[in-house]
């Protein structure tokens, strides 16, 4: 006979896990919500128990037909964000460029605003990744991204075109942040709620500041395709 284990996570989501001699069946009793939570925290917790051994016997005698241990047979991992369709779509804006050879990886840090600049012969992609500079119009023309990481061994480059990103409050890339405000690059090429003012520079909206309770400079990064050139 099946042994049913009910694990309730939170309303409106519940999962029923049924244990059978042949394996497990997971039956969601309600669909996932379709909204995305920009406050990626949870308070889910499981209580551990000693291993439970189940013996399956015949109805006519105590002869043991089989036994199995269900403890540790399944690991349920809850990440910082529950799955949602929007979350999966946002992952589509995180790109990996394999075997992208660069020589300036030491000068790049997670959170830097960068763009791709054509450089024939530089690597197999014939371009390099460069930090955005309001004094260089290539940044205004280019599609700005957030630099995530670079693996010098595999030469895999990771960047993000759109999505949420958390900066520490002492991050070198940010000068000023305020909930709800639009963000730009300032005269020092740092993220700021006040745009650049230098003659010859450019101004482009990069997204906005997202309120949060985890003491982070959280931004929604979604750079505009238009820009203003200062004279």
Query: Which of 81, 110, 144 lies at the terminal end of a domain, its last residue?
Result: 81
Contact 167, 192 (CB under 8 A): no
What percent of the chain shows pLDDT beyond 90? 58
Contacts of 92 (CB under 8 A, 6+ apart): none
Q: Read off the pLDDT of each residue in 31-41 and give the average, rounded to a whole number.
A: 55
Inside any domain, residue 87: no
pLDDT tens digits along 138-195: 999 999 999 999 999 999 999 999 999 999 999 999 999 999 999 999 999 999 999 9
Domain count, the chain: 2
User: Same domain for 77 and 111?
Assistant: no
Reported as a single tens digit per residue, the pLDDT across 103-125 is 989 999 999 999 999 999 999 99
DSSP 39: S
Please count the other Cβ atoms lying within 10 Å of the Cβ belonging to residue 83.
Answer: 10
- What value does the mean pLDDT of the chain take? 80
Residue-wise pLDDT for 58-84, tens only, equals 555 444 444 545 454 555 555 555 556
For residue 57, tell me if it sits in a domain.
Answer: yes
Query: Are both 107 and 186 inside the same structural domain?
Result: yes
């Amino acid at each position: 006979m099946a042994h049913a284990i009910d694990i309730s996570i939170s309303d409106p989501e519940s999962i029923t896990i049924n244990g059978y001699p042949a394996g497990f069946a997971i039956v969601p009793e309600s669909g996932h919500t379709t909204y995305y939570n920009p406050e990626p925290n949870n308070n889910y917790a499981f209580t551990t128990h000693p291993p439970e051994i189940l013996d399956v016997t015949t109805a006519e005698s105590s002869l043991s037909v089989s036994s199995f241990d269900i403890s540790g047979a399944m690991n349920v991992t809850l990440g910082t964000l529950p799955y949602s369709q929007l979350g999966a779509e946002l992952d589509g804006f995180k790109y990996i460029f394999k075997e992208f050879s660069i020589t300036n990886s030491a000068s790049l840090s997670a959170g830097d605003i960068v763009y791709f600049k054509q450089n024939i012969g530089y690597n197999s992609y014939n371009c390099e990744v460069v930090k955005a500079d309001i004094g260089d119009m290539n940044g205004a023309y280019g599609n700005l991204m957030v630099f995530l990481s670079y693996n010098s061994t595999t030469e895999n480059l990771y960047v993000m075109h759109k999505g949420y990103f958390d900066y520490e409050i002492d991050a070198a890339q940010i000068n000023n942040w305020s909930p709800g405000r639009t963000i730009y690059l300032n005269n020092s090429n740092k993220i700021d709620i006040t745009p650049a003012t230098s003659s010859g520079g450019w101004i482009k909206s990069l997204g906005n500041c997202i309120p949060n309770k985890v003491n982070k400079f959280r931004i929604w990064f979604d750079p505009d395709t238009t820009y203003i050139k200062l004279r």
